[in-house]
Amino acid sequence: MPTPAQERNRDVKPELDPAVADETWIVIPVFNEATAIRDVIGSITPWFKNVVAVDDGSSDRTWEVLRDCAPHPLRHFVNRGQGAALQTGTDFALAHGARRIAHFDADGQHRVEDLKTLVAGVAAGECDIALGDRFAGDVSEIPKTRWLLLRAAVIFHRMMSGVRLNDVHNGLRVFSRDAAASIEITADRMAHASEIIDLIGRSGGRVREYPVTIRYSEYSREKGQRWTGSFRILFHYLVGRIAG
Amino acid sequence: MTAFQIIIIAILGIVAIFAVVGAFRRSIGRPAAVTILIVSIAGILAAVDPDRTTRVARTLGINRGTDLIVYLVTLVVFQGFVVFYLRLRKVRRELTLLVRHVAILEASSRTDRDRDPDDAPEAKARDS
């Protein structure tokens, strides 16, 4: 019995080469997403068979749901943060021969159409690292405080790491195998998004941003970071840069 | 000598002895032991002759000995905070590596079981 998300995705044209999709592994860090994760995975699996869902020590029924619906469920026995979960999933995918690795959020804010566009870009050799750019897409749904913070983050990263991107905190990313292998996330918690940008800058890989649309549902807003959390992220990021 | 001075000197004396013994037994690193010993001796000297801290403070351009002690304590506490935070960071990092390693091991063993149920540890235990 298809899930509602699978029903919706039947309307989407499968423009991605199935061979390319089969060689691409989707890594989803999951924390307390028992209510949303089945639909999210269900929306991906019609196109991508290799989905690695990493339960990051959830306290709700997430693990039971993942065991039931995720092609490759992994579990952190204690919560170590999104960065750690992404690195676990990436290591697992690389060990199983992934040619490309994608990061996808668990709260349903990313669209599979955008994922396919990024994967096709890397597969076609347009770049080694494809990143989602929400500011090149439909920006009408972005909450004002989030918009301001994200723009400030762009300026901050241009000053700190010299990486010129339009959207530095977009969780939708696709890496070629070599690019994924050259990046090791050490920031466990949310500072990983900033660390990834630094690592991308140092990796020397060709980077390209693609327009994407982020769905700011009531649920994803609730799950998302509070603006005050940005100070904590900034602190962890700066300590990470100084202390290594 | 007041009762307070006696208590302070006794406590700092015990701390200094622990530092020396700890260094000999190698339960405390030598730099830490030397630091503890210097701080303890400085504390004992200040407790024996409180005016000494004022004299030292004035040579450094600070009016009161109490201010000098407050500045020094602030520096020591801050340094302690930084050292503690960096150690905690290192332990967290090691915990993350362990958790990630276990997650991949468990997933790989599940994949192996799915591929060949007869190879599963439960099946082997059942067959033996």
Q: Please state at what angle helix A82-95 crosses helix A192-203, rounded to 10 degrees.
A: 50
In this structure, the number of other CB atoms found within 10 A of the CB of residue B41 comes to: 13
Q: In angstroms, what separates the C-alpha of A185 from chain B's closest C-alpha?
A: 11
pLDDT band at residue A60 under the 50/70/90 scheme: very high
pLDDT band at residue A188 under the 50/70/90 scheme: low
Using the beta-carbon criterion (under 8 Å), do A76 and B103 form an inter-chain contact? yes
For A51, list phi and psi in degrees, rounded to 5: -115, 120
Chain B hits for A75, CB-CB cut-off 8 Å, are 103, 106-107
Using the beta-carbon criterion (under 8 Å), do A91 and B100 form an inter-chain contact? yes
Using the beta-carbon criterion (under 8 Å), do B99 and A95 form an inter-chain contact? no
What stretches of chain A show up as alpha helix (H) in DSSP? 4-9, 18-22, 37-44, 62-69, 82-95, 112-123, 144-161, 177-181, 192-203, 218-223, 229-243
The predicted-structure confidence for B96-110, as pLDDT tens digits, reads as follows 999 999 999 999 887
The predicted-structure confidence for B25-61, as pLDDT tens digits, reads as follows 988 888 889 989 999 999 999 899 888 889 989 999 9
* DSSP characters over A108-128: S-S-HHHHHHHHHHHHTTS-S
Write the ipTM: 0.78
d(CA A241, CA B40): 35
d(CA B79, CA B33): 16
pLDDT of residue B128: 53
Domains and CATH numbers, chain A: 4-243 (3.90.550.10)
Using the beta-carbon criterion (under 8 Å), do A80 and B95 form an inter-chain contact? yes
Using the beta-carbon criterion (under 8 Å), do A77 and B95 form an inter-chain contact? no
Select the residue from A27, A52, A58, A188 to test the B interface by mutation, using most B Cβ atoms within 10 A. A188
d(CA A152, CA A150): 5
Chain B hits for A54, CB-CB cut-off 8 Å, are 103
